Amino acid sequence: MTDHKEEKGVAKGEEALADIDVLVVGAGPTGLMLANQLGRRGVRTLIVDRHAGPSLETRALGVQARTMEIYSKLGIVDRALELGKRGTGANIWAEGRKMARVPLGEAGRRITRYPFILILGQDDNERIMGDRLRDWGLSLQWNTELVGLGQEPGHVAVKLKLPDGTTRTVTAAWVAGCDGARSSVRELSGIPFPGAPYEHVFFVADADVTGSMVPDEVNVYLWRQGFHLFFPMRGKDHWRIVGILPASLRGRDDVKFEAVIPSLRGEAGAGLSLKTCSWFSTYRIHHRSALRFRDRRCFLLGDAAHIHSPVGAQGMNTGLQDAYNLGWKLALVVEGRADAALLDSYEEERVPVARRLLNTTDRAFRLVVSDSRLAGLVRTQIIARIAAFAMSHERIQRLAFRVVSQTGIHYRKSRLSESLDGLPRSAPRAGDRFPWLQLKFRVDGAVEDLFEKLEDTRLTLIVIGQSSPPEGALDCGDLLHIHAIPADTVNEVELARAQIPRPSFYLLRSDGHIGLCGVRLEAAAVARYVSERLGLAHRSA
Ligand SMILES: Cc1cc2nc3c(=O)[nH]c(=O)nc-3n(C[C@H](O)[C@H](O)[C@H](O)COP(=O)(O)OP(=O)(O)OC[C@H]3O[C@@H](n4cnc5c(N)ncnc54)[C@H](O)[C@@H]3O)c2cc1C
């Protein structure tokens, strides 16, 4: 683990000597999300990118439900929904036959307001987040590359190469390396990035195609030599096709879309008609995870910290969630409201998520790309049948939805998670994302969406079946918002569905995960949690 003695010994005054509070290196999706989270909390943030302007490549294009929930809090979900296309189901095909359908819409209906995968290119995601930066008074500095860094007591001295080719040193209290797979922050911090490249080469094509694909849904074609994914894109008959190059084309660097058409026709059916192709690219991928996500005042997020196969459309979403996890913690520390020890929980919470993801995508990927005859048979006969069987069970559908949508990610083992005695095992636990509920907040009021009511710049205390203390009594100042849930039939049904007992209480962190929970609310337990676990300095409103 990193030795954080230095940070703990640094007074707020020393940090204030830095030119800026946080330098965000890299304006891909991860850096843009982090800059937004910091900007909306008033943190002095500089975001730089070595490129001349926004990327025009689509690259990732699956936006998961948890990301849409975060977009909603950032005020950009409507724009994303307007521009994207909703995929409400996924179909698995093997050797020309449709074997199974995963009904994303039904599986996620009670889990999130967004029970679908939104097909929206990475370039659009970046544009929407980039535009939002302006609302916090932040601007992005293009053509600016981090070329050196040195950690000093209380700050990091960063050398930036500017658009005119000269270099300038700036000091930042914290540096966030959101600078992609070849991260300079990671390399200059000496953090190893073990893993390996896959031998297979991917191709990606945006094309106008007609064929057996179920419109507006994801279509997965498994075949003896690999797989092809068809994602519906905006516009009629417009699809993103992802696959691996047939073995005969590997090793060639001049492969064009026409070369993969025979294999596409082979397994997606003779009726496949390919019209135009607006983008075609091939790329190799690696599976790697940084040994640490932090070196003292420098953090790694997104592809800088972990890269894996695009199977499951998790890469971009995982980076966005890294940023959402770190953003609120960094803001509290920069504001001097929390001890720097709070930042230790970033690595502790996000490293296991990345490792799990790497292992599952790696296993799934190996199975769907293995060249062996046996694997080919497993792919087209066994996987397809297992999927068909599993997906006929609602519980498995819901479980699959939770995993893919990232709404099931939890931090139960984190130092920030404390479940007090007395809660039934089936109840939501500390570390879980608090469930999405429709509740009445006043007996005579309307039913409202709890997630709409949560303020993700504050902590929220949800009090059920007992009297709630006045906000000032918990000694958290303006950082805490309390919702007392009144006794009401609608509420009883909804709480029972989520297996939340009455009485109980749940203290939510800014990112909607449960920090502390228990049966009887005692002000002393909340005050102790807030000061010992979150390291918040007590202050009155
Ligand atoms: C062809 C292709 C297809 C893909 N398809 C999918 C998919 O379908 N689904 C999926 O989930 N993922 C996919 N991915 C992966 C996805 O694009 C990444 O997971 C995502 O881009 C990670 O975002 P990021 O912000 O962490 O890093 P990046 O998007 O790599 O952004 C890093 C930024 O840092 C900047 N930078 C780097 N070094 C410096 C420096 N020293 N100083 C200043 N700036 C610097 C770069 O210019 C870049 O803008 C695909 C990737 C590729 C290449």
Helix (H, G, I), strand (E, B) or coil at 410: coil
Which residues form the pocket of ligand 1, taking CB atoms under 6 Å from any ligand atom?
25-31, 48-51, 59-62, 122, 145-146, 178-180, 184, 204, 281, 283, 302-303, 310, 313-316, 319
- Enumerate residues 6+ apart whose C-beta is below 8 A from 235: 208
Range with the lowest mean pLDDT among 153-162, 286-295, 532-541?
Answer: 532-541
User: What DSSP state is assigned to residue 18?
Assistant: S
Probe ligand 1: pick from 49, 64, 314, 404, max atoms within 8 Å of CB?
49
User: Hey, how many other C-beta atoms are within 10 angstroms of the C-beta on 487?
Assistant: 11
User: Which element (helix H / strand E) includes 8?
Assistant: helix 5-8
Q: What angle (nearest 5°) sits at the alpha carbon of residue 428, between those of residues 423 and 431?
A: 110
Range with the lowest mean pLDDT among 87-101, 209-223, 355-369?
Answer: 355-369
Probe ligand 1: pick from 168, 179, 284, max atoms within 8 Å of CB?
179
Distance 365 CA to ligand 1 centre (A): 20
Which amino acid is present at 426? S
**Inter-axis angle of helices 65-74 and 29-39, to 10 degrees?**
40
pLDDT for position 270: 57
How many residues are listed for the chain in this entry?
Answer: 541
Probe ligand 1: pick from 59, 127, 159, max atoms within 8 Å of CB?
59
pLDDT tens string 463-495: 999 998 876 777 777 889 999 999 999 999 999
Percent of the chain topping pLDDT 70: 90
pTM of the entire structure?
A: 0.92
Distance 258 CA to ligand 1 centre (A): 27
Distance 27 CA to ligand 1 centre (A): 9
N- to C-terminal Cα distance for the chain? 36
Distance 126 CA to ligand 1 centre (A): 11
User: Which element (helix H / strand E) includes 507?
Assistant: strand 504-508
Average pLDDT over residues 134-144: 95
**What is the band of 537 on the pLDDT scale with cuts at 50, 70, 90?**
confident
What is the distance between the alpha carbons of residues 241 and 204, in angstroms, rounded to a whole number?
A: 6
Residue 531 above 50 pLDDT?
yes
Mean pLDDT score across all residues of the chain: 88
In a 13 Å sphere around the CA of 285, the CA atoms on its Cβ side amount to: 26
pLDDT tens string 66-102: 999 999 999 999 999 999 999 888 888 887 788 888 8
pLDDT tens string 410-452: 999 999 999 999 999 999 999 999 999 999 999 999 999 999 9
Q: Are strands 504-508 and 514-518 parallel, antiparallel or unpaired?
A: antiparallel
